[in-house]
Amino acid sequence: MSLLNQMLKDLEKRQATAGDPTGLPGTGAGAKGPRRFGVLLWVLLALVLVLGGLVFWLSTGHRAGKDVPLAVEQVEPRKMPVSAAVETTPAFEFEVAASEAPAPPPATEPEVVTAPVETPVVKAVPVKETVSSLSESVEPPELPVAAPPSPKTPPASEPAALVKTPRPLSPKEQARVRFAEGEAALKDGRLSEAEQAWRRALRLNPTQRESREKLAAVLIVAGRRAEAEKVFAAGLEIDPAHSPFRRGYARLLAERDDLSTAREVLRQGPVPTAAGDPDYHALFAALSQRLGDYAAAAATYSLLLQQDPASGVSWLGLGLALESDGRAPEAVEAYRQAIASGSLQPDLLSYVRGRLDMLER
SS (H, E, C) 79-104: CCCHHHHHHCCCCCCCCCCCCCCCCC
At CB < 8 A and 24+ separation, what contacts does 280-287 make?
280/243, 280/246, 280/247, 282/313, 282/314, 282/317, 283/247, 283/250, 283/251, 283/254, 285/317, 285/321, 286/254, 286/317, 287/250, 287/254, 287/259, 287/262, 287/263
Q: What's the pLDDT tens digit per position in 9-63?
A: 665 666 555 444 444 344 444 444 445 556 677 777 777 776 776 666 666 554 4
Reply yes or no on whether the pLDDT at 99 is more than 90: no
**CA gap 219, 225 in Å, rounded:** 6
pLDDT band at residue 114 using 50, 70 and 90 as cut-offs:
very low
Tell me what the mean pLDDT of segment 56-74 comes to. 49
Q: What's the pLDDT tens digit per position in 283-315?
A: 999 999 999 999 999 999 999 999 999 999 999
Q: Is 306 exposed, middle or buried (0-12, 13-18, 19+ CB in 10 A)?
A: exposed
Reply yes or no on whether the pLDDT at 220 is more than 90: yes
Reply yes or no on whether the pLDDT at 94 is more than 70: no
Residue 75's pLDDT is 41
Task: Output 268 or 9, whichever has higher pLDDT.
Answer: 268
- Nearest CA to 195 out of 173, 170, 224 is that of 224
Q: Which of 249-253, 269-273, 327-331 has the lowest mean pLDDT?
A: 269-273
The model's pTM: 0.53
Distances (CA, A) of 239 to 175, 217, 242, 272, 281: 17, 18, 6, 14, 20
Reply yes or no on whether the pLDDT at 266 is more than 70: yes
Task: Output 290 or 77, whichever has higher pLDDT.
Answer: 290
Residue 200's pLDDT is 97
Domain-by-domain residue ranges, the chain? 2-17+42-137, 179-271, 276-361
Tell me what the mean pLDDT of segment 103-118 comes to. 44
Q: Is the dihedral of CA 188, 190, 195, 201 positive or negative?
A: negative
Residue 360's pLDDT is 85
Whether the domain at 179-271 and the domain at 276-361 fall into the same CATH topology: yes
DSSP label of 29: S
**CA gap 347, 332 in Å, rounded:** 19
Domain range 179-271, its CATH number among 3.40.980.10, 1.25.40.10, 3.90.1170.50, 3.30.365.10: 1.25.40.10
Query: Residue 253: how many CB atoms within 10 A of its CB?
Result: 22
Q: What's the pLDDT tens digit per position in 163-215?
A: 777 789 999 999 999 999 999 999 999 999 999 999 999 999 999 999 999 99
- Please tell me the CATH code under which domain 276-361 is placed: 1.25.40.10
Reply yes or no on whether the pLDDT at 128 is more than 90: no
**CA gap 136, 89 in Å, rounded:** 20
Residue 281's pLDDT is 96
